Amino acid sequence: MSNSPQFSHVRQDGTAHMVDVSAKPATARTARAQAVLTTTEAVIAQLTEGGLPKGDALATARIAGIMAAKRTPDLVPLCHPLPISKATVDLEPGTPQPTAVRITAEVKTTSQTGVEMEALTAASVAALTLYDMIKAVDKTATITETKVLAKSGGKSGGWTRA
């Protein structure tokens, strides 16, 4: 046996499985994640003024992100379906630079497992939706910086990205 970490979604024979969390206590858990869409200053102006051909891109992306958080186990095969008690998606045009939109998602539950995947899925789908809404005016937009920012609850407790 090596000293390498064991992955919880892989059995001894190397096959994937859904982790059994039934013996774990349900605790309050929160996760926050982000994605960043980079475009042009002209598109950022259209986003904030509501002047895009497809309509209110920020509102559409926000709703898409919330819906995605609730559908994460349908998209990520080994995720547990969780009773999500809160899903928030915020979009900040002009942040962290004038040509970007930072998308931040926060998801909460009381369950036996965390909501990091739900927060990542919410931020990712909101970013994809935003790209879809602006691609007519900027096909070169990029999505980057998708990452977990913080989590709380569970056996390992809280964690915040430095």
The residue type found at 39 is T
Domains recognised in the chain with CATH numbers = 27-151 (3.30.70.640)
Which of 12-26, 46-60, 67-81 is the most confident on average? 67-81
> What is the C-alpha to C-alpha distance for residues 134 and 115, in angstroms, rounded to an integer?
29
What average pLDDT does this structure show over 33-50?
Answer: 95
What average pLDDT does this structure show over 52-81?
Answer: 94
Average pLDDT, the chain: 91
pLDDT exceeds cutoff 80 at 9: no
3 Cβ partners below 8 Å, 6+ apart? none
Quick check: 65 and 123 in contact, CB under 8 A? yes
In this prediction, residue 91 has a pLDDT band, given cuts at 50, 70 and 90, of: very high
Residue 60 phi, psi (nearest 5): -65, -45
pLDDT exceeds cutoff 60 at 49: yes
What average pLDDT does this structure show over 117-143?
Answer: 97
Chain centre distance of CA 70: 11
Catalytic residues: 132
Question: Residue 141: helix, strand or coil by DSSP?
Answer: coil
